[in-house]
Amino acid sequence: MSDDSSYRVATDFSGKLAKPPWGYRQWMLTGNPAIFFDHLANRFGDFVHYRGAFNFYLINHPDLIKNVLQQTNKNFDKNTPIYRRFANAFGNGLVVSEDTRWRCQRKLMQPMFGHRAIEQFFPVMVASTNEMLSRWQARPNQDSSFDLAPEMSRLTLEIVGRTLFRDNFGSASEKIQEWTHTIDSYSAKPPIPIIRDLWFPSGRNRRLKRTLREFHGFIQEMIDERVATRHGDDLLGILLRAQDPQSGQAMSHTQIADEVLGMIVGGHETSSSALTWAWYELTQHPETLTQVFEEIDQVIGSRPLEIEHIKELSFTRMVLDEVLRLHPPFWFENRNTRQQTKLAGVDLPAGSIIVMSRYSLHRHRRYWRDPNRFNPHRFQPKHEENPRSSYAYIPFGGGPRICIGTHFAMMEMLVIMALIGRHFQIELSCEDRHEMSAATTMTPKHGVRVIARPRAS
């Protein structure tokens, strides 16, 4: 990877930040937003002023992004239209909370998501995946195709549900799937001001509000039950027992409900999207798929999958890293300037919206050779492009607000990849071009239809 730290600021002849013409504004509303921001960065530079309904600044350079997310992160917050809508719908959880509340929540929850702590959820991941594979094995026609995307979504939802609620998830799984489907449908289109706000009297918004009431009611029932039975050993029980070591303060039940809803809504989308893209890419690159199979066979063989095996799946991890580079599920990030702030020598007014597109950053030609090519080997430890310590690669964000569930998601995806790859050969059922959809998450627009045939033992 290049260590060139210079960035290209888009300017017109007056020396001010360039402002793309009106046609770009129409594209933002009607086109694919990830492609829009990528074109904006490629056409105008690493720092672009774009004025639409709000005062936007697109930044697409690792140093600028590091400045916003880490070095001067206190100058920015999440008081943006998108995060406000998220908070109105899903509560004031860790994703959207700020300042003292966020610090307290993060401090309480961080120990639950460390490397060692999440290993207790490994058996849930294995059991849920094996149940899905048993359904695949029982299909009467092994040559029939199915859409992989909803299968991955159902599986990752099952895992996060069992992690949170243990046995109670089974009895409520169909209802939870229905609720999350409604929420996912709400998130399936780019956020357009006004009509996407919950107060707007649309049928979609009324359905979402009803769903959220029912979902919150279910979570509160689970909390009440855990309190009555002295909590339990699932993640919900751990949340209820968590206390600040200095003050002894625990989370309120409202706080816990907000966190649980956020985990369910966001906790399955990242993994399911990445897994769907992973198998799509592997079907397009048979040599890479063969390497994945060889590693799985060598590391696991005919033995039951153990936690120690996951740490040895280094090439499979590189495949997932490359998938997250090309197809980052949460493909964009945004911040609000708390007060007038200087960035790269430019004065940004208070209330400006800073936009960071992971999709564009991860394909920046200055930092990635042949950036649109699927090449897991670029993530080898000593490879010149290896970006693990750089803000050129931020699939889970960066700085103090990096996603708390990063380790959980990576272990979950490796478990699922290993078990699917051990038992099934995945093939695309057709050669149709798989178009990308970029809303809240980046997904294949029309799904990915595959044929899963049992591998010869």
Express each pLDDT in 173-184 by its tens digit: 888 888 888 877
CATH code for the domain in which residue 74 is found: 3.30.43.20
Say what the pLDDT of residue 23 is.
Answer: 54
- pLDDT confidence of residue 194: 42
| Selected residue with higher pLDDT from 28 and 381 | 381
Among residues 370, 372, 369, the alpha carbon closest in space to that of 359 is found at 372
- Please give the structure tokens belonging to residue 139: 């299909």
The stretch 396-411 carries a mean pLDDT of 96
Residues 338-348 pLDDT 10s: 999 999 889 99
**Mean pLDDT over each residue of the chain, to the nearest integer:** 87
Say whether both 352 and 403 belong to one domain.
Answer: no
The residue range of the domain holding 304 is 91-329+395-454
Together in a domain, 16 and 119: no
pLDDT, position 183: 78
In a domain, 184, yes or no: yes
In the predicted structure, residue 251 carries a pLDDT above the cut 50: yes
Count of structural domains, the chain: 2
pLDDT recorded at residue 3? 43
* pLDDT tens per residue, range 83-100: 888 887 788 999 999 999
H helices present in 348-455, as ranges: 358-361, 406-423
Q: Which has more pLDDT, 217 or 31?
A: 217
- Residue 395 banded pLDDT, cuts 50, 70, 90: very high
Least confident of 10-19, 22-31, 101-110, 126-135: 10-19
CA distance 237 to 362: 38
In percent, the amount of the chain with pLDDT more than 90 equals: 60
Residue 387 lies in a domain: no
User: What is the rounded CA–CA span in Å between residue 329 and residue 388?
Assistant: 18
Each residue of 5-20: pLDDT tens digit?
Answer: 455 555 432 334 555 5
Share of the chain above pLDDT 70, in %: 87
Within a domain: 99 = yes
pLDDT at 305: 98
CB 320 within 8 A of CB 417: yes
User: What integer pLDDT is reported at residue 72 of this predicted model?
Assistant: 95
pLDDT-derived band at 26, boundaries 50, 70, 90: low
pLDDT at 203: 73
Take residue 452 and report the two structure tokens written for it.
């899963």
Q: What is the mean pLDDT of residues 152-174?
A: 88
Do 67 and 101 fall within a single domain?
no
* Residue pair 49/377 in contact by the 8 Å Cβ criterion: no
Q: Where does 30-95 show beta strands of DSSP type E?
A: 47-51, 55-59, 76-77
State the average pLDDT over residues 352-374: 95
pTM equals: 0.91
Q: What is the pLDDT of residue 16?
A: 46
Provide the token pair at 382: 């000593």
Amino acid 168: pLDDT: 76
**In-domain check, residue 380:** no
Residue 149 lies in a domain: yes
Q: Are residues 153 and 194 in the same domain?
A: yes
State whether 133 and 173 are in the same domain.
Answer: yes
Task: Using the predicted structure, report yes or no on whether residue 142 has a pLDDT greater than 50.
Answer: yes
| Same domain (yes/no): 176, 312 | yes
The rounded distance, in Å, linking the Cα atoms of 301 and 311 is: 15
- The answer to whether residue 28 scores a pLDDT higher than 60 is no
Of the two residues 172 and 24, the one the predictor is more confident about is: 172
pLDDT score recorded for residue 310 = 97
CA dist 148 and 144 (Å) reads 12
pLDDT digits (tens, 9 = 90+) for 264-310: 988 888 999 999 999 999 999 999 999 999 999 999 999 999 999 99
Query: Is there a domain that residue 225 lies in?
Result: yes
Q: What is the pLDDT of residue 14?
A: 33
According to the model, what pLDDT value does residue 21 have? 53
Is residue 379 a part of any domain in this protein?
no
Residue 39 is which amino acid?
Answer: H
Residues 241, 121 share a domain: yes
What is the three-class DSSP state of 48?
strand
